[in-house]
């Protein structure tokens, strides 16, 4: 479990692809490697990976084929950088929000707007994830805990009729969300160098996912088992005698 507060930007050193479709990824990350141990969890670009080997300033982790298929981590080349965070410890401040490192999908940067002291990024959003992303809610983008500053209406339009340009790169319709980044976030994470069309891993709020699952089952209370008739009679007789 992570908080989405990035500790450093790691450098991709090597990929070692395996015959079964998985891969081993080696990352230079001095801070994370300084106390990493075999079996520890480290978030790499928002993906929770398990350390299998480490040195003074690097670590190696296995990446399953499914992870390569559903996340943007496969697009990282040797020399690229990724946001790194070690697993949180009990007693740490929860400066961001609860991030599991379980990627829900990949989003594309559609728009980048530089303002006086911050930058607004607009990302495309998978329609299946759209119900889980709310204005002022939390979202993890490439492992970074961020607050959603704007989100498209259910039909893909801008909320409240503002800024009608929709979710694709040509201004067409489609679900999207925006986040606003302060200079510290731009400098300390890979999001500061992200170009239009760049891909990021997205993880929605785990609480929203649980609520969606509960709603899917109708929030029905568990059924109360019915006692056999003979047991009902015994129970009734017992209650009657107790009055």
CA distance 143 to 100: 9
Tokens standing for residue 123: 């990302």
DSSP annotation string for 106-120: EEEEEEEEE-SS-EE
pLDDT of amino acid 217: 82
One digit per residue, the tens of pLDDT, for the chain of length 243 reads: 999 999 999 999 999 999 999 999 999 999 999 999 999 999 999 999 999 999 999 999 999 999 999 999 999 999 999 999 999 988 878 888 989 999 999 999 999 999 988 999 999 999 999 999 999 999 999 999 999 999 998 866 666 544 545 544 444 469 999 999 999 999 999 999 999 999 999 999 988 888 888 888 876 556 666 666 555 555 554 555 444
Sequence-ordered list of residues with C-beta below 8 angstroms from that of 123, at least 6 positions apart, any chain: 107, 108, 109, 110, 141, 176, 177, 178, 179, 200, 202
What single-letter DSSP state applies at residue 195? P
CA distance 149 to 72: 23
Domains located in the chain, CATH noted: 8-86 (2.40.30.20), 105-216 (2.40.30.20)
Helix, strand, coil shares, percent, the chain, to 5: 25, 35, 45
């Amino acid at each position: 479990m992570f908080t989405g507060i990035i500790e450093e930007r790691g450098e991709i050193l090597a990929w070692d692809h395996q015959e079964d479709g998985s891969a081993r990824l080696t990352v230079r990350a001095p801070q994370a490697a300084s106390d990493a141990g075999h079996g520890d969890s480290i978030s790499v670009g928002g993906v929770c990976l398990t350390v299998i080997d480490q040195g003074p300033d690097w670590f190696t982790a296995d990446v399953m084929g499914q992870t390569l298929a559903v996340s943007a981590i496969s697009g990282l080349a040797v020399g690229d950088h990724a946001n790194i965070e070690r697993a949180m410890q009990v007693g740490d401040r929860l400066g961001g929000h609860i991030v599991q490192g379980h990627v829900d999908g990949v989003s594309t940067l559609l728009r980048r707007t530089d303002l006086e002291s911050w930058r607004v990024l607009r990302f495309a959003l998978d329609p299946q994830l759209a119900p889980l992303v709310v204005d002022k809610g939390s979202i993890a983008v490439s492992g970074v805990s961020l607050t959603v500053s704007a989100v498209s209406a259910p039909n893909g339009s801008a909320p409240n009729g503002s800024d009608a340009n929709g979710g694709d790169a040509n201004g067409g319709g489609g679900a999207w969300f925006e986040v606003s980044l302060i200079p510290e976030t731009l400098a300390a994470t890979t999001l500061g160098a992200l170009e239009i069309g760049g891909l990021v891993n997205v993880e929605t709020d785990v609480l929203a996912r649980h609520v969606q699952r509960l709603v899917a089952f109708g929030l029905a209370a568990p059924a109360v088992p019915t006692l056999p008739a003979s047991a009902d009679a015994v129970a009734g007789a017992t209650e009657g005698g107790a009055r």
